Amino acid sequence: MKGTFITFEGSEGCGKSTQSKLLCGYLKKNGYQVLFLREPGGTAISEKIRRILLDHKNDSMFSLTELLLYMASRAQVVHDVIIPALEKGVVVVCDRFLDSTIAYQGYGLGMDRRLIEYVGKTVTAGIKPDLTFFLDLPVEKGLLHRRHCSDRIEKRPLDYHRRVRMGYFAIARKEPKRLKVVRVEHDKMDTQNNIRAIVDTIVK
């Protein structure tokens, strides 16, 4: 692939959307062709799946159903959007990717992580991010930021969200070259400057 694939990960309310969009603006100003995506989402089909997944009315959703819906949404956006963009040399910045499923459904819900990785490899056509940022913020602070707009996942117990955070740390220990832990600073631009310093070393 000619392009560069950068993903943002983290627990609820850590500021992924803000930081990923700030990075997109920075890269565009520096002359890069950039595409921003969010997961689940990024295509008409994927956005419909997103609404099902996050709807708090679907509290009875079976964990395997949840896993497969996330994977289905991802399969569509990888095929329709991510692969074509990378082949054209675009910098693709995505708010969440496969690491989210490993952290949320694997570590958070206790599902078989080997199964998640196996299905994920097929769904992503073997594509892995060149660089992933895990924005670390204590879950209590993050959930406080999201207290007025809780979706089905955000409403889960505090212990669940703590397991998700620990899951991200576990992934970072396994893949330290790809997954960089960035502490969320009080000033969002301090966080962004830390991200930009790392990105400047890898963008083509």
Mind listing the pLDDT tens digit for each residue in 49-75? 999 999 999 999 999 999 999 999 999
Least confident of 2-11, 18-27, 151-160, 177-186: 151-160
Range of the domain at 176: 4-199
User: In this structure, is residue 204 part of a structural domain?
Assistant: no
Strand partners, 35: 92
Confidence band of 29 (pLDDT split at 50, 70, 90)? very high
Q: In what order do the strands lie in the sheet with 179-183?
A: 34-38, 91-95, 4-10, 131-136, 179-183
Give the residue from 197, 137, 117 showing the smallest Cα distance to 10. Answer: 137
Confidence band of 151 (pLDDT split at 50, 70, 90)? confident
How many domains is the chain partitioned into structurally? Answer: 1
Amino acid making up residue 28: K
Confidence band of 111 (pLDDT split at 50, 70, 90)? very high
User: In this structure, is residue 61 part of a structural domain?
Assistant: yes
Confidence band of 143 (pLDDT split at 50, 70, 90)? confident
Q: Name the residue with tokens 């074509």.
A: 84
CATH assignment of the domain containing 94? 3.40.50.300
Mean pLDDT, residues 180-189 taken together: 96
Please give the model's pTM, rounded to 2 decimal places. 0.95
What are the two backbone dihedrals, phi and then psi, of residue 200, each rounded to the nearest 5 degrees? -60, -20
Cα–Cα distances in angstroms (integers) from residue 116 to residues 25, 148, 156, in the given order: 33, 31, 21
